C-alpha cells in the first residue's frame, strides 16, 4: 500500500473488503459505547483473521477518537483519581512495550498476557472479585499499555480490575484512559516505524462506520438503564484474550 490509499481507498481494498471492515468497526464501536470497552476486543480477533492490515495501528487510530467521544458523553461521571492511576500505568506499560519490541520475544509476552486474562475471567466467573484499588488499577494500566501497543487489544486488564464500578463511571473514566493511552501507543508505533500514512488513510476511510456505531450505542444505553454490564465486560475480556491467541496462531 502507499499514500494513494488516502485518496482512493476503495481501489486499494475492494468494496467487499471495505464493507466487511466497516461492519466490524460499527459493531465494535457500538459495544464500546455500551460497555466502556469492547472496540478492540471485538475488532482485533476479527481483524487478525480477516483484515490483518488493521492491526494494531489503524484500530488504535479509530479507537482514540472513539474513546474521547465516550469520555465527553458522560464526563460528569468520570472518576479522576482512577483515571490518573490507570493512565500512569498505561504510559509505563507503553514504554515497556517499546522495549519489549526491541529486546524481548513479543509472541511469548502476548501469549502470557492472553493466558493471564483468561485465567482472571475464569476466576471472576466462579466468584472472585477484584477491588478497584489504587494498586489494582495501576497494574491494569501497565498491562493495558503493554497489550494495547503490542496487539491493539488493551482493555482486558481494565475489564478485570474495574468490573464492579457503576456503568457510567466506568465508561467515562475508561474513555479518558483509552483516549490518552491510544494516542501514546500510536505515537510510539509511529516513532518505531509501524504506523504509516497508508494505515492512517485506512483509519480515515473507516471513521464514518465508527461514528455510526457510537451513535447507535446511545439509545441502547438508555434501554439498559443502570443494569450491571459486568457480564459484558468479562465476555469482552475473554474475547480480547482469545483474539490475541488467534493472532499468534495465525502468524505462527
- Please, are residues 156 and 116 in contact by the beta-carbon 8 Å criterion? no
In tens digits, the chain (252 residues) has pLDDT values of 444 444 555 556 788 999 999 999 999 999 899 888 889 878 877 887 788 888 888 998 999 999 999 999 999 999 999 999 999 998 898 888 878 777 777 787 778 778 877 887 887 777 777 888 999 999 999 988 888 777 767 788 888 899 888 888 999 999 999 999 889 888 888 888 888 888 888 899 999 999 999 999 989 887 876 556 778 778 877 877 887 788 778 777
Per-residue confidence (pLDDT) for residue 63, from 0 to 100:
93
DSSP 195-251: --HHHHHHHHHHHHHHHHHHHHHHHHHHHHTT---HHHHHHHHHHHHHHHHHHHHHT
Per-residue confidence (pLDDT) for residue 6, from 0 to 100:
44
Question: Is 212 exposed, middle or buried, given 0-12, 13-18 or 19+ CB atoms closer than 10 A?
Answer: middle
Query: Using CA atoms, how far apart are residues 217 and 200, in angstroms rounded to an integer?
Result: 25
Minimal CA–CA distance to 147: which of 180, 122, 112, 199?
112
Contacts of 203 (CB under 8 A, 6+ apart): 57, 58, 61, 62
14: left (phi over 0), alpha (psi -120 to 50) or beta: left
Minimal CA–CA distance to 148: which of 102, 200, 191, 95?
95
DSSP 162-199: TTTS-HHHHHHHHHHHHHHHHHHHHHHHHHTT---HHH
Q: What is the CA radius of gyration of the chain?
A: 17
- Please, are residues 165 and 79 in contact by the beta-carbon 8 Å criterion? yes
pTM of the model: 0.81
Query: What letter would DSSP give residue 130?
Result: -
Amino acid at each position: 500500500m502507499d499514500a494513494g490509499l488516502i485518496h482512493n481507498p476503495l481501489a486499494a481494498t475492494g468494496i467487499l473488503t471495505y464493507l466487511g471492515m466497516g461492519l466490524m468497526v460499527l459493531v465494535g464501536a457500538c459495544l464500546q459505547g455500551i460497555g466502556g470497552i469492547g472496540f478492540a476486543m471485538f475488532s482485533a480477533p476479527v481483524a487478525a483473521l480477516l483484515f490483518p492490515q488493521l492491526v494494531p495501528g489503524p484500530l488504535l487510530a479509530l479507537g482514540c477518537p472513539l474513546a474521547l467521544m465516550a469520555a465527553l458523553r458522560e464526563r460528569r461521571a468520570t472518576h479522576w483519581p482512577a483515571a490518573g492511576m490507570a493512565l500512569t500505568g498505561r504510559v509505563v506499560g507503553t514504554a515497556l512495550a517499546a522495549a519489549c519490541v526491541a529486546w524481548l520475544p513479543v509472541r511469548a509476552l502476548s501469549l502470557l498476557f492472553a493466558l493471564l486474562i483468561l485465567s482472571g475471567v475464569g476466576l471472576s466467573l466462579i466468584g472472585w472479585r477484584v477491588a478497584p484499588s489504587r494498586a489494582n488499577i495501576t497494574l491494569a494500566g501497565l498491562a493495558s499499555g503493554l497489550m494495547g501497543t503490542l496487539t491493539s487489544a488493551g482493555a482486558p486488564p481494565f475489564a478485570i480490575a474495574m468490573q464492579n464500578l457503576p456503568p457510567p463511571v466506568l465508561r467515562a473514566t475508561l474513555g479518558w484512559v483509552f483516549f490518552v493511552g491510544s494516542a501514546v501507543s500510536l505515537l510510539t508505533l509511529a516513532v518505531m516505524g509501524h504506523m504509516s500514512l497508508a494505515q492512517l488513510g485506512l483509519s480515515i476511510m473507516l471513521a464514518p462506520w465508527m461514528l455510526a456505531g457510537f451513535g447507535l450505542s446511545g439509545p441502547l444505553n438508555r434501554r439498559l438503564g443502570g443494569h450491571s454490564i459486568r457480564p459484558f465486560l468479562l465476555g469482552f475480556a475473554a474475547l480480547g484474550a482469545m483474539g490475541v491467541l488467534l493472532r499468534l496462531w495465525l502468524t505462527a
